[in-house]
Amino acid sequence: MGRPFTRIAFTPSVREAQAHYGSRSPRSEAEANSGEPDALTEAEADFIEQMDGFYQATVNEDGWPYVQFRGGPRGFLRVLDAKTIAFADFRGNGQYISVGNINAAQRIALILMNQAAPARLKIWGTARVIDRSNDPAFIEALQVKGYTGRAERAIVIDVLAYDWNCPQHITPRFTRSEIREMNGPLLAEIEALRKRVPAPTAAGQASGAAGDSN
């Protein structure tokens, strides 16, 4: 079966570029019978809900793209069902460029990256804005418990396609929590060794100091 994202991504100019650089043949196979919009599987859903940030692209009425990083607590990007994701949109600098673009054109693309793994997921879809005043219960349901940021609205995305992108050139980076998790066994071993080795006594320290003076 073909890949639904090719209907969106492989425009005539893209196909021309693929032919020019010699990658057209395998790409054309991906286009065959591209079928219905993608449904998220458990693998995509798990990956999405582990994110604490992602890159979001929208486009304005003049065709200019706008790319923005959206961040929040881990799990703020929610999978509502196999074809719908949403997130609470927190108050920022008040420019509302992404919101205006979504209201004008609805088209949206996300890039989600796990730089520790590494892995990268691309998502295409159409988005809509739900203001807090219109559906406060829905906004509250998207809030992550314990996070102090105030959600002004929700962005709901109908997923049309996704693609797992090649991770070859992702530079590995780790969050503080990931570093703590990786170092956990080492720190536990150090603590166990400390408990096994008796702490130096005052007499022992004095004796050592006297020996150093000879």
- In three state form, how does the secondary structure of 30-62 look? HHCCCCCCCCCCHHHHHHHHCCCEEEEEEECCC
Domain boundaries, the chain: 1-36, 38-196
Among residues 153, 148, 150, the alpha carbon closest in space to that of 133 is found at: 153
Q: What is the pLDDT of residues 85-139, one digit of tens each?
A: 999 998 888 899 999 999 999 999 999 999 888 899 999 999 999 999 999 999 9
Structure tokens at 14: 């893209």
User: What is the C-alpha separation between 123 and 163, in angstroms, rounded?
Assistant: 7
Q: What is the pLDDT of residues 24-72, one digit of tens each?
A: 877 776 676 566 678 999 999 999 999 999 999 999 999 999 999 998 8
**pTM strictly above 0.85:** no
* Contact (CB, 8 A) for 154 and 78: no
Average pLDDT over the chain, rounded to an integer: 87
User: What is the C-alpha separation between 98 and 100, in angstroms, rounded?
Assistant: 5
Question: Under CATH, to which class is 38-196 assigned?
Answer: mainly beta
Among residues 139, 136, 144, the alpha carbon closest in space to that of 50 is found at: 144
Structure tokens at 211: 């020996």
* Contact (CB, 8 A) for 32 and 59: no
Task: Give the model's confidence band at 202: pLDDT under 50 very low, under 70 low, under 90 confident, else very high.
Answer: low
* Contact (CB, 8 A) for 55 and 108: no
> DSSP per residue over 135-146, as a string?
-HHHHHHHSPTT
**Cβ neighbours, 10 Å, residue 4:** 21
Strand partners, 113: 120
User: What is the C-alpha separation between 125 and 106, in angstroms, rounded?
Assistant: 8
> Which residue would you say has higher pLDDT here, 66 or 202?
66
User: What is the C-alpha separation between 119 and 112, in angstroms, rounded?
Assistant: 8
Residue with the two structure tokens 């050139």: 169
User: What is the C-alpha separation between 159 and 87, in angstroms, rounded?
Assistant: 13
Model pLDDT, residue 100: 97
